[in-house]
């Protein structure tokens, strides 16, 4: 009778843990989903206001200074951004609640004045800090608080991007390349799905799939070679993207050690570049330009310009994310290179978006799920091949310096090194 009682006790405890995580992850999805939806609405408002009143762009230097002062007054001037959230998951480091309102306000201000930045990277910080706060409120231990941080990341990413399964996978895959945090699968999925439904209830993400990329190429030996070739080229672009993002703040710091001067100069450079380009295509996240390119437009230098705009913005101290700029870069490069390889234009842009994202984040499963949720299921084998090649050939470069590469991309070998 003793062993049977122990088995019953274990089953009951596992059932209680399951119910506990349904409750906690659902609550995280509700809270973070509502905040992230408000965040997206705020970014859309800021973008619309800037596009309607182009003179706001001339406030770029002041906007940069305001953001640096905001973080300084809050005692968060040396905030590591998304890297801090990755460390919180891997090593159970604390994440301050003040991170949430700071990144909320700073990212909206960046978009308002015309800085080139995304929103999903900011969402990881927003959701991670709120998830960590909830974990402290309910007095979870250090290990369970790590799962709560991942739940918050998933919920915020889902509410902002409208891709709940991608969001659930991303928070489990991005922290340590080669190791998936499977214990967080159900909590992250519940949090992401709940947040997605909160966003939909507020009128967001009602169209599926999110992007129209045109017909996909049929699977054949020729299209496999074409997709693999595009994946190789996208790996090179992702390396360039990561290197420029990491180099920009170092160059700024070398020539302008004062953070306030750095922010003002960065704003002035983005403003000057905008005037030279003659449009606002590369300010903000650029979602509208992505849709134009997938619909048939080719902008030859767009992928290089977006990298430059984003590096000048984020390197100077503005706040936001790198993910949508990476998607923009991929769409621009894909629509340029894909047709030269013989692939359909819109499909090439979609492949480029997924492959550059994959090479920059080192998240192949997330990238494949992103392809499915953004573009539908057509052409999935070619998305998988293109992303796989980009993942393998992008080496150990990555957007996040605190991302750990646990296993080699080339051999079944433990390497345990940080992304370059």
Residue 40 lies in a domain: yes
Residue 251 lies in a domain: yes
Alpha carbon of residue 341 to chain centroid: 28
The answer on 228 and 141 residing in a single domain is: no
Phi, psi values for residue 392, rounded to 5°: -70, -45
The answer on 225 and 150 residing in a single domain is: no
Give the count of beta carbons closer than 10 Å to the beta carbon of residue 23: 12
- pTM: predicted TM-score of the whole model, two decimal places: 0.94
- pLDDT per residue as tens, the chain (420 positions): 456 777 777 777 778 888 989 999 999 999 999 999 999 999 999 999 999 999 999 999 999 999 999 988 888 777 777 777 777 677 666 777 777 888 889 999 999 999 999 887 777 888 888 888 888 888 888 888 889 989 999 999 999 989 999 999 999 998 888 888 888 999 999 999 999 999 999 999 887 788 888 899 999 999 999 999 999 999 999 999 999 999 999 999 999 999 999 999 999 999 999 999 999 999 998 999 999 999 999 999 999 999 999 999 999 999 988 899 999 999 999 999 999 999 999 999 999 999 999 999 999 999 999 999 999 889 999 999 999 999 999 999 999 888 888 888 888 888 878 887
* CB burial string 115-150: b at 16+ within 10 A, e below: bbbbbbbbbbbbbbbbbbbbbeeeebeeebbbbbbb
**Mutual angle of helices 364-375 and 164-173, in 10-degree steps:** 170
Structural domain span for residue 305: 221-418
**pLDDT score for 313:** 96
CATH number of the domain that 409 lies in? 1.10.3080.10
Pairwise CA distance, residues 109 & 101, whole Å: 12
Segment holding 414, helix H or strand E: strand 414-418
Pairwise CA distance, residues 274 & 266, whole Å: 12
The answer on 149 and 6 residing in a single domain is: yes
Q: Side-chain half-sphere of 316: how many Cα atoms within 13 Å?
A: 31
The answer on 229 and 106 residing in a single domain is: no
The answer on 183 and 109 residing in a single domain is: yes
The answer on 134 and 232 residing in a single domain is: no
Residue 206 lies in a domain: no
The answer on 159 and 106 residing in a single domain is: yes
The answer on 263 and 175 residing in a single domain is: no
pLDDT in tens, 238-268: 999 999 999 999 999 999 999 999 999 999 9
Residue 211 lies in a domain: no
E strand spans, 154-285 = 176-177
Pairwise CA distance, residues 117 & 164, whole Å: 22
Residue 212 lies in a domain: no
Q: Side-chain half-sphere of 136: how many Cα atoms within 13 Å?
A: 11
Among candidate residues 245, 240, 241, 239, the one with its CA nearest the CA of residue 391 = 239
Q: What domain count does the chain have? A: 2
């Amino acid at each position: 009778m003793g062993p049977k009682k122990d088995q019953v006790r274990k089953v009951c405890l596992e059932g209680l843990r399951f119910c506990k995580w349904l409750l906690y992850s659902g609550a995280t999805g509700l809270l973070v989903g509502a905040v992230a939806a408000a965040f997206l609405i705020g970014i859309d408002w800021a973008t619309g206001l800037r596009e309607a009143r182009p003179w706001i762009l001339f406030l770029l230097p002041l906007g940069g200074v305001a953001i640096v002062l905001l973080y300084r007054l809050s005692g968060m001037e040396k905030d590591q951004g998304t890297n801090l959230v990755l460390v919180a998951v891997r090593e159970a480091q604390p994440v301050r609640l003040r991170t949430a309102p700071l990144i909320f306000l700073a990212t909206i201000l960046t978009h308002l004045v015309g800085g080139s930045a995304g929103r999903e990277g900011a969402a990881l910080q927003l959701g991670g800090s709120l998830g960590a706060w909830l974990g402290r409120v309910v007095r979870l231990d250090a290990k369970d608080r790590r799962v709560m941080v991942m739940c918050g990341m998933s919920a915020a990413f889902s509410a902002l991007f409208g891709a709940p399964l991608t969001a659930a996978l991303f928070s489990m895959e991005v922290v340590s390349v080669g190791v998936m945090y499977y214990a967080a699968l159900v909590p992250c999925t519940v949090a992401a799905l709940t947040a997605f439904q909160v966003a939909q209830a507020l009128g967001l993400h009602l169209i599926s799939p999110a992007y129209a990329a045109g017909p996909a190429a049929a699977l054949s030996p020729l299209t496999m070679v074409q997709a693999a070739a595009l994946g190789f080229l996208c790996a090179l672009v992702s390396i360039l993207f990561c290197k420029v993002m990491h180099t920009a703040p170092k160059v700024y710091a070398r020539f302008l050690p004062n953070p306030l001067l750095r922010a003002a100069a960065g704003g002035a450079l983005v403003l000057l570049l905008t005037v030279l380009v003659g449009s606002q295509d590369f300010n903000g996240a650029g979602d509208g330009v992505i849709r134009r390119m997938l619909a048939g437009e080719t902008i030859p230098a767009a992928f290089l310009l977006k990298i430059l705009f984003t590096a000048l913005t984020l390197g100077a101290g503005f706040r936001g994310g790198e993910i949508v700029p990476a998607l923009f870069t991929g769409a621009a490069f894909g629509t340029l290179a894909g047709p030269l390889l013989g692939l359909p234009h819109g499909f090439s842009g979609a492949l480029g978006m997924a492959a550059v994202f994959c090479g920059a984040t080192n998240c192949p499963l997330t990238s494949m799920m992103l392809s499915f949720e953004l573009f539908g299921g057509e052409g999935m084998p070619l998305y998988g091949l293109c992303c796989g090649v980009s993942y393998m050939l992008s080496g150990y470069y990555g957007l996040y310096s605190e991302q750990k590469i646990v296993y080699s991309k080339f051999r079944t070998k433990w390497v345990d090194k940080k992304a370059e």
